A and B are shown apart, each in its own frame.
Chain A
């Protein structure tokens, strides 16, 4: 199978996120980027598919801080090819990002063969304009399923599991080529030791694919960006244990919980 994994870097929420002085964007001073979690799962699912059914794994990413680390990490884990598109991902919305990927996939660089699975992560925390995966399905006119948690090749097609709420899952049969938004791989993403990544950094190369940037970077104009009001510390209930118990019971009654 021809497995194409799309990687995207997103702001790391471990760091404090602040709004820039324009009030419409993130303050870049303390901004750090990390690989979008579901994308890491998409990579893992691709590697599992490669191990089970054979094939080649290509990882593609737009340029962003720390993206080289993510691409080398993917190669160290077992991806066969890494491609970087030199366009500043941070300045692009989801639609523009997806368009770049779509152009790449339609070009010679990442040709869609009849046995191709395009595997982006299902979603990202900065998907204000929507999910890359769904957009790609539309742009490439390929069948699309999102929130996928398992992919198994069966008779030239794939059988996928999509997650619904409450632990319910649905089984779908999908004709290839297709785009599958991966929510979680069948196994947690593998660990790749630092020594191995460093060895790959010395031996492997990241290809670059020049793609013309889309006309508009963002589909939505943000009017205002701000931090939600923080809840703050708990209101402390004082008194004897009896008092406290009665106070809690009243609180629950007031809120219609009991």
Chain B
């Protein structure tokens, strides 16, 4: 006898009304689901317009990698396994049900022919059975983790949907899977088909029902069948109302993710975001796509230092505001006729409540962000948290509400083009002491321009390294020049503090200065010392014409060493660890060149546990360097990081490639009491040591 799927076993025969009810409920479920989805789409449409780059093949590929196979969960094996089991369990069971519907409603009803037969049917049974088991195992792992292990990142301060959402979700999936297995077991127990062993789990469970009478079995089967169907329909219908909606929104968010350079903030209103509908629709979609997983929070240096910021809670709060705004406004339209009349006569009432309220989003949490992008880098659904924070900061700046020290820095940047309150004429004063004069790129033709940046130009702790770097470039015979007093702060951090207008001014002045450069070659090279300058020059400056390459000095040193233009006078020895600056690594993907430089010098590079794209921020980025630490700080990010380095065995040197890192970590060495144990060196110092003897 050929195995074949029974047509709605038991139901078709004895409870035909239930079969019809099932069709009706199914149709209704689809309608409710569609309505729910449509409501979300309308919520997203509260936001401002934002163009999306068309690149369907790339986007689809990303969806397969990150949505279907959840590529960004890989860092946490437990979570990945658990989530894949649940997702694929549910997914395959859903497809199985869909196939069964096709088999019955198209094959059997229309053509009196079923494709769920023979070996295909047996394979189908086995797959569904095993994935049902996987689903239950996945759910058990989830319950265990959420309610026994209780990792901090899963704790919620706020529930945009409803408080027991996570429990509801796990529970209903568990009940659906459980009732499904019971239905199968009861059917196998009653029908006793010879291929029952192809459903090993169901068959095993069937043993428990063998003693029941056929009548009882059929009655019980019907009961569980109804329960299973009702649960499944309820789950589907309620997807848009619970965080299960991430099934849809995550996929959409991943599909529509930013494909541009991550270091470029989109052009936005200098006035920033005051209310939820001031964000763009794509940002609203991202907030809605948050799965509350808390990976961002786990990576966040501001959160770890005890600040009020948790990127997860911030996004949840924004999602909550979105849902509230949608409720109040009936998804963007005046809710009542009265309101409609009012809106028609008066200026349109604000769609949403102000976000900048200590009860909603506090200034302290916004200022705590270092824009290190660690959150964004790990977000499974590609939420752009730093961008949202900068948007919210812009509003604070537009209202003039900011830390006094930030205000001082901005005033200085506005007036002198640097944050040190020093004359712009003094910018290249460090170069006066050099034996060989550096060209003024605005007056003499050059191959490349060295954009030195504020810290390397003005901070007395860094000047010596700047001079050493200049000597290395000169020794290698590079043809380079400076913009001298024409150089201004690049504006990277100014922009991230939220002072968009000042950023534009600084960028304009720098572009003017670059416009005066007489390039010798078609390949115009700009070298930066500061990774922050690198980022904005590379990603946010629109250089006229083509051919401008922006490089970090570590990339240049790497090229010079590889080309043999910097012969070593002394091979260095010993072990060192290298700290990836956020704006060099995570933002611009430069991981290898500094490491190659160190190895070329003879240094053995020992990695810290958090390295490369997981590098831990020093705490100075995003304008944090201009702010005071809050008195209740638990541990500064730089101290946390330095301790990590100090715990490495026999690694006395901590190598940095950013002048701000140098300042931050040299302080951290002192404040953590590691003087004499570990020394912070700029990579250029080591190169100078090796090539100058």
Contacts and interface: CB of A to CB of B under 8 A. Distances in A.
User: Which of A34, A188, A190, A193 has the largest count of B CB atoms less than 10 A from its CB?
Assistant: A193
22 contacts: A14-B416, A15-B425, A34-B415, A188-B407, A191-B397, A191-B400, A191-B410, A191-B411, A192-B400, A193-B270, A193-B398, A193-B500, A193-B502, A194-B270, A194-B502, A194-B504, A194-B505, A195-B271, A195-B500, A196-B398, A196-B501, A198-B501
A3 B550 CA distance: 52
Contacts of A192: 400
Contacts of A172: none
B329 interface: no
Interface string B492-536: 000000011110110000000000000000000000000000000
Interface in B398-415: 398, 400, 402, 404, 407, 410-411, 414-415
Interface in A164-193: 188, 190-193
A14 B400 CA distance: 25
Specify which of B397, B404, B410, B504 lies most central, judged by the most chain A CB atoms within 10 Å of its CB. Answer: B397
B270 A195 contact: yes
Q: Give the one of A191, A192, A196 with max B CB within 10 A.
A: A191
A14 B404 contact: no
A192 B499 CA distance: 10
B501 A14 contact: no
Given A193-B499, A194-B414, A198-B501, 8 more contacts: A16-B423, A191-B407, A191-B411, A193-B398, A193-B400, A193-B500, A194-B502, A197-B501
B220 interface: no
A196 B402 CA distance: 16
Interface of B: 270-271, 397-398, 400, 402, 404, 407, 410-411, 414-416, 421-423, 425, 499-502, 504-505
A190 B402 CA distance: 9
A26 to B, nearest CB: 15
Contacts of B421: 14
A195 B407 contact: no
A191 B397 CA distance: 8
B501 A195 contact: yes
A30 interface: yes
Contacts of A198: 501
Describe B's contact surface by its main secondary structure: helix
Contacts of B398: 193, 195-196
Most chain A CB atoms below 10 A, which of B501, B504, B505: B501
Interface in A61-107: none
Interface in A187-211: 188, 190-198
A192 B398 CA distance: 7
A72 to B, nearest CB: 13
Nearest to B500: A195
Contact of B423 (A14, A188, A196): A14
B504 A14 contact: no
A135 B135 CA distance: 86
B415 A193 contact: no
Contacts of B500: 193, 195
Interface of A: 14-16, 30, 34, 188, 190-198
B190 to A, nearest CB: 75
A255 B411 CA distance: 41
Contacts of B502: 193-194
Of B404, B415, B500, most A-chain CB atoms within 10 Å: B415
A188 B400 CA distance: 11
A195 B62 CA distance: 38
A191 B393 CA distance: 14
Contacts of B425: 15, 30
B573 to A, nearest CB: 33
Nearest to A73: B414
B270 A191 contact: no
Contacts of B270: 193-195
Taking each of A14, A192, A195, A198, which has the highest tally of chain B beta carbons within 10 Å of its own beta carbon?
A195
Contacts of B410: 191
Contacts of B404: 188
A34 B400 CA distance: 21
A30 B502 CA distance: 24
B402 A191 contact: yes
A196 B421 CA distance: 22
Contacts of A196: 398, 501
A73 to B, nearest CB: 10
A47 B693 CA distance: 62
Nearest to B415: A34
Contacts of A190: 400
A194 B397 CA distance: 10
Contacts of B422: 14
B366 to A, nearest CB: 16
A186 B425 CA distance: 34
Contacts of A14: 416, 421-423
A165 to B, nearest CB: 24
A25 to B, nearest CB: 20
Top 10 closest pairs, chain A to chain B, by CB: A195-B501, A194-B501, A195-B270, A191-B400, A194-B502, A190-B400, A191-B407, A15-B423, A14-B423, A193-B501
A1 to B, nearest CB: 22
A196 B271 CA distance: 9
A15 B398 CA distance: 30
Nearest to A194: B501
Contacts of A15: 423, 425
A185 to B, nearest CB: 13
Nearest to A189: B407
Nearest to A198: B501
A190 B407 CA distance: 8
B569 to A, nearest CB: 32
Contacts of A195: 270-271, 398, 500-501, 504
A193 B423 contact: no
Nearest to B398: A193
A128 to B, nearest CB: 24
Contacts of A197: 501
B268 to A, nearest CB: 11
A195 B414 CA distance: 12
A48 to B, nearest CB: 13
B628 to A, nearest CB: 14
Contacts of B407: 188, 191
B501 to A, nearest CB: 3
A120 to B, nearest CB: 21
Nearest to A40: B411
A15 B502 CA distance: 22
A15 B404 CA distance: 23
A41 to B, nearest CB: 14
A196 B504 CA distance: 13
A192 B410 CA distance: 10
A190 B399 CA distance: 9
Contacts of A188: 404, 407
A191 B501 CA distance: 13
Given A16-B423, A188-B404, A194 B499 contact: yes
A189 to B, nearest CB: 8
* Residue in B422, B423, B505 with the greatest tally of chain A CB atoms within 10 Å: B423
A34 B404 CA distance: 20
A198 B504 CA distance: 11
A15 B415 CA distance: 12
A55 to B, nearest CB: 20
A225 B176 CA distance: 92
A220 B453 CA distance: 45
Nearest to A197: B501
A191 B411 CA distance: 8
A197 B501 CA distance: 9
A43 to B, nearest CB: 13
B586 to A, nearest CB: 28
A193 B271 CA distance: 9
B418 to A, nearest CB: 10
A194 B505 CA distance: 8
A188 B405 CA distance: 11
A197 B422 CA distance: 23
Contacts of B501: 193-198
